[in-house]
Every structure is written in C-alpha cells, then in structure tokens.
Amino acid sequence: GDSVTQMEGPVTLSEEAFLTINCTYTATGYPSLFWYVQYPGEGLQLLLKATKADDKGSNKGFEATYRKETTSFHLEKGSVQVSDSAVYFCAQGTPYTGRRALTFGSGTRLQVQP
Amino acid sequence: DVKVTQSSRYLVKRTGEKVFLECVQDMDHENMFWYRQDPGLGLRLIYFSYDVKMKEKGDIPEGYSVSREKKERFSLILESASTNQTSMYLCASSTKLLRGNQPQHFGDGTRLSIL
C-alpha cells in the first residue's frame, strides 16, 4: 500500500542553522502532499501543503517543493529558532483509491538549541 | 478557523472498563477520523466516518468501535479497555471535496492511560 518515509530523528540543530527534513512518498498519480507540525502536548497543525508537481508550499519560513520525478517533498527552513522545536509529519493524500484518510510518515523530532 | 475539540486532554481508566472518547468539530465537515499515536509508530488510523451513521475500519480497528449520530460529533469507544490501549488519541476532520486530497484538521489529543 501507499506509504510515506521520513528521515529518522531526532534532528538536533543550533539556532539559525539550516534545516532539511527528507520525505518521500509512494502514491501513484498526483496526490496532495502536506507537512504537519506537533508542538509538545498539542495536536497536529497543518504547516504547508502542495497539490501538484512543482508546487512550492510555504509558511512561517518553512518551504517544501513537490518533486514528482523523485517522489519527494522535503521540508526546509533557512534559519531555525528554538521555538521550531517540535515533531514534523509528512503526509500524502490518496485520491485514486477512494481512501479518505491521509497517510502519515512516522514523524521527525526537531530539537533546536540556543 | 476550524475547531476540533476533544472532550478530555488526560484520562485514566482501569482495565476492563468501557471508555468513551468524544470529538466535536464546528466546520460542518463530512469526514471525521480517529488515530492513535505511539512513539516510533507515527499516526495509525483506527476508524473514520464519511457521513452520519457511516463508518469504515482503518488500519487498527481491533478493540475499538465508533459512533456518529450527528454530523459534528464522532465518538471512539473502547469496549473493554486493556493496558495496550494506553496511548495518545487524536481526532481529525476534513471536507469531502476532492476526496483524499483535503487537509485534515486535528484536535489537541487525549492522552489515555489504562491501569
């Protein structure tokens, strides 16, 4: 079945470092792709999304580009802050199977040190 | 903004009890979902509902049931709680437009402990 693979964490960075969290997906066709963020003790919040190839989603300084040729949707941020410490989940939609639920990766914990 | 509200943030129950987790959304969404989240396993879909009184099993439905009597409310039921059901439970909702490609909106989660 469809799956989403994320790099394992934790990822530990110093403040103002560059962030990349890798994500690859397996759904056929053109699924929508999402990044969610989960801060400690909270539910998941939608961070950004992209709905077609070469789309770039962006929000709060984070960006991710929908790459059909490599089936990837890597999350990037140029300069992380301590407040970005959280767990990040990549997810894909699956429109062609009729499945209404998104498929999530296992999550990547980011720790940013001052 | 979409608001998904879960009735409890923390819940402690005993083995064998019948446990109800409640979820309400205020955006008239057709789809509602229950996930559990465990370290190293990410989010796993338990059940979802695409309409009132309609439900479908997710990836791990064993030991759970659901109820959707009203469009805005989706309940998860642990028929006879067991210690391996100790987990974080997340409720989500989404619109049915562009089925399978809509973002899901999550509640803050219920951390359930079964003693």
Average pLDDT over residues B14-21: 97
Token readout for B69 is 């009597």
Distance from C-alpha of B104 to C-alpha of B91, rounded to nearest angstrom: 10
Q: Tell me how many degrees the CA angle A93-A95-A101 measures, rounded to the nearest 5.
A: 50
* d(CA A96, nearest CA chain B) in Å: 8
Q: Could you tell me which chain A residue has the CA closest to the CA of B43?
A: A104
Residue A47 contacts residue A62 (beta carbons within 8 Å): yes
- Partner-chain contact A42 B109, CB within 8 Å: yes
A-chain residues near B41 (CB < 8 A):
106
In eight-state DSSP terms, residue A70 is T
Would you state the pLDDT for residue A14? 97
For A45-95, the pLDDT digits (tens) are 999 999 888 999 999 999 999 999 999 999 999 999 999 999 999 999 876
B-chain residues near A36 (CB < 8 A):
106
For A11-42, the pLDDT digits (tens) are 999 999 999 999 999 877 788 899 999 998 88
Q: Is the pLDDT of residue B98 over 70?
A: no
- Partner-chain contact B100 A43, CB within 8 Å: no
Average pLDDT over residues B27-47: 91
Residue A50 contacts residue A67 (beta carbons within 8 Å): no
